[in-house]
């Protein structure tokens, strides 16, 4: 199989795997949203945020390091695995100790047991099979996908059962444990690799990770400190709604768009030695992501109330404007991740750290300086600043690692994508309600909206874009993907 076909197939499997992965949290959230109140979600949000901080502390960037290296050996893989286990052991103990203080601070004993259970699941994850990195480097995702499917099916079944029988948020914890344990066992079955404790390459890896860890910490606080701030400015109901809407809005980015373009990290690394080819793949990777991210963002922004009604129920619709605001983060997160991939390829993790430090300072200087008594104004201010900074980051990365002409072509493509979104929203605003049943109405309007978007952008492509090298590459990619499917349908 050619590298291109392997990359495309790998992207599709990564998307499917990530969608299933997020299905655990999403199914639990959707079921629990009809069983629990927003105040209960506030408690879950606090525990998840604390545990999430410890997860960030253990993010050494080992996967990125091993993927970007020209060659790797068992010694480097074992070193990465050993560092991960030792770090997560220390952090699990710290998380255990902090659970008592967090529970006392918020005066809710549920937090202590919840955090202890999540800490245990967090430590289990460290024992995964490190040899899987060899499959990822070769973009052999089929076996990984099968293990993931089995783990997610078991996890979703356990989540739904516990949520319906006990009406408890413990469904989320149990489902995560089932998922982690089943996948740990499955990964050792599909790739028999015997890891051993080793630190022979620790110094070399830490030269890379030393910049990734502080960058991850700053990145976490940049994206999550607003939630902590909301917990002090507003009540638990508002906090639960803020956290849940933000979580739902970012699902398309973190578990669909980014995994789909994940294999481009490998392709961009390979193409970095060829300036012309790299410029083409650099633009193509981002434009492909935005062709999916932008219409999803626009749809959620305009149809926020209907989407909230279908996903969460009547008791959440008064907070649907939060979903509209957070949907704009889908675009900024896509831009941000693309720039980070570029800097990782050129071994500039300290520049990512500098960006995180700068944006963190700007965002929270403004949020802490301005007094907010309205949750919606707080949300839209936070999102607006993020949008502007991500565009500046993209402009820097494009000019620094491509050239002015490539950057102009990229931003022209982005302009046409956004314009197609605006046209689609305008036309969709005249759509009537097809049914009083909200799910049917949402399906009808989403089908019409996305048809309008891709038809509108297709016209832009034929008028302005088809002669550009990146769009020739994208169109050829689409043809290569669709050709086998079309041929099979014709034969049948």
String of DSSP letters for 202-247: HHHHHHHHHHHHHHHHHHHHHHHHHHHHHHHHS-HHHHHHHHHHHH
Which pLDDT score, from 0 to 100, does residue 452 have?
Answer: 95
Which pLDDT score, from 0 to 100, does residue 37 have?
Answer: 64
52: number of Cβ within 10 Å: 16
- Please give the angle made by the CA atoms of 276, 278 and 279, to the nearest 5 degrees: 70
Which pLDDT score, from 0 to 100, does residue 1 have?
Answer: 47
What is the residue-level pLDDT of the chain in tens, covering all 492 positions? 445 455 555 555 555 665 666 655 566 666 666 666 666 667 777 777 788 788 777 777 677 777 766 677 888 888 888 888 888 888 888 888 888 888 887 777 888 888 888 888 878 888 888 888 787 777 666 777 778 778 877 887 787 787 777 767 677 778 778 888 888 888 888 888 888 888 877 777 777 666 667 777 777 777 777 887 877 777 767 877 888 888 888 877 766 666 665 555 556 666 556 667 788 888 888 888 899 899 999 999 999 999 998 888 787 888 899 999 999 999 998 898 888 888 888 878 788 878 888 888 888 888 888 767 788 888 899 899 999 999 999 999 999 988 899 899 999 999 999 999 999 999 998 888 877 788 889 999 999 999 999 999 999 988 888 778 778 777 776 666 565 555 655 565
Of 383, 368, 281, residue with least CA distance to 325: 383
Q: Which two tokens stand for residue 21?
A: 């992965």
Helices (H) and strands (E) in the chain, counts: 22, 0
Q: Which helix (H) or strand (E) holds 411?
A: helix 404-428
Question: From CA 339, how far away is CA 337, in angstroms rounded?
Answer: 5
153: number of Cβ within 10 Å: 15
Which pLDDT score, from 0 to 100, does residue 283 have?
Answer: 86
Which pLDDT score, from 0 to 100, does residue 425 have?
Answer: 93
Which pLDDT score, from 0 to 100, does residue 144 have?
Answer: 77
Q: In angstroms, how far is CA 219 from the centroid of its own chain?
A: 13
- Please give the angle made by the CA atoms of 232, 234 and 237, to the nearest 5 degrees: 120
204 backbone dihedrals φ, ψ, rounded to 5°: -65, -45
Q: Which helix (H) or strand (E) holds 350?
A: helix 349-369
CB neighbour burial string for 4-29, b if at least 16 within 10 angstroms, e if fewer: eebbbbbbbbbbbbbbbbbbbbbbbb
Q: In angstroms, how far is CA 294 from the centroid of its own chain?
A: 15
Question: From CA 289, how far away is CA 11, in angstroms rounded?
Answer: 12
Question: From CA 232, how far away is CA 245, in angstroms rounded?
Answer: 18
Question: From CA 470, how far away is CA 283, in angstroms rounded?
Answer: 6
- How far apart, in Å, are the Cα atoms of 448 and each of 11, 335, 402, 434? 26, 26, 37, 11
- How far apart, in Å, are the Cα atoms of 103 and each of 88, 375, 479? 22, 25, 56
Which pLDDT score, from 0 to 100, does residue 29 have?
Answer: 64
The set of residues, in sequence order, having a beta carbon less than 8 Å from that of 16 and lying 6+ positions away, is 145
**Using CB atoms within 10 A of its CB, is residue 240 exposed (0-12), middle (13-18) or buried (19+)?**
buried
Which pLDDT score, from 0 to 100, does residue 427 have?
Answer: 92
Which pLDDT score, from 0 to 100, does residue 65 have?
Answer: 72
Question: From CA 45, how far away is CA 62, in angstroms rounded?
Answer: 28
Of 170, 217, 188, residue with least CA distance to 59: 217
**Using CB atoms within 10 A of its CB, is residue 200 exposed (0-12), middle (13-18) or buried (19+)?**
exposed
């Amino acid at each position: 199989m050619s590298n291109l076909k392997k990359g495309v197939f790998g992207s599709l499997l990564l998307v499917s795997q990530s969608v299933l992965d997020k299905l655990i949290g999403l199914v639990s959230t959707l079921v629990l949203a009809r069983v629990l109140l927003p105040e209960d979600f506030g408690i879950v949000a606090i525990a998840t945020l604390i545990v999430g901080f410890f997860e960030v502390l253990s993010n050494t960037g080992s996967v990125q390091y091993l993927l970007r290296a020209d060659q790797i050996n068992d010694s480097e893989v074992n070193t990465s695995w050993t560092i991960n286990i030792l770090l997560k052991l220390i952090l699990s103990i710290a998380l255990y100790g902090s659970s008592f203080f967090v529970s006392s601070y918020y005066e809710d004993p549920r937090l202590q047991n919840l955090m202890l259970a999540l800490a245990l699941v967090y430590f289990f994850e460290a024992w995964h099979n490190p040899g899987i990195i060899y499959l990822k480097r070769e973009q052999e995702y089929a076996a990984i996908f099968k293990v993931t499917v089995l783990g997610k099916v078991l996890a979703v079944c356990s989540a739904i059962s516990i949520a319906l029988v006990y009406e408890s948020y413990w469904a989320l914890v149990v489902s995560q444990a089932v998922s982690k344990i089943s996948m740990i066992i499955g990964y050792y079955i599909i790739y028999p690799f015997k890891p051993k404790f080793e630190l022979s390459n620790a110094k070399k890896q830490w030269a890379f990770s030393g910049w990734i860890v502080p960058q991850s910490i700053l990145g976490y606080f940049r994206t999550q400190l607003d939630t902590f701030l909301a917990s002090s400015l507003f009540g638990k109901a508002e906090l639960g709604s803020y956290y849940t809407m933000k979580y739902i809005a970012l699902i398309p980015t973190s578990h669909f768009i980014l995994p789909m373009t994940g294999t481009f990290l490998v392709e961009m690394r390979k193409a970095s030695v060829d300036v012309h080819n790299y410029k083409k793949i650099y633009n193509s990777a981002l434009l492909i992501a935005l062709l999916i991210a932008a219409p999803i963002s626009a749809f959620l922004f305009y149809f926020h109330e209907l989407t909230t009604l279908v996903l969460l129920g009547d008791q959440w619709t008064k907070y649907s404007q939060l979903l509209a605001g957070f949907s704009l983060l889908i675009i900024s997160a896509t831009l941000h991740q693309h720039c980070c991939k570029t800097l990782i390829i050129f071994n500039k993790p300290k520049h990512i750290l500098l960006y995180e430090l700068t944006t963190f300072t700007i965002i929270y200087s403004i949020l802490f300086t301005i007094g907010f008594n309205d949750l919606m104004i707080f949300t839209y201010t936070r999102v607006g600043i993020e949008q502007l900074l991500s565009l500046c980051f993209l402009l820097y990365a494009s000019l620094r690692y491509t050239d002015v002409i490539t950057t102009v072509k990229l931003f022209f493509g982005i302009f046409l994508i956004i314009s197609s979104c605006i046209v689609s929203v305008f036309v969709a605003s005249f759509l009537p309600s097809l049914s009083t049943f909200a799910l049917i109405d949402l399906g009808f309007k989403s089908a019409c909206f996305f048809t309008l978007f891709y038809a509108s952008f297709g016209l832009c492509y034929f008028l302005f874009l088809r002669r550009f090298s990146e769009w020739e590459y994208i169109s050829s990619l689409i043809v290569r993907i669709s050709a086998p499917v079309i041929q099979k349908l014709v034969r049948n």
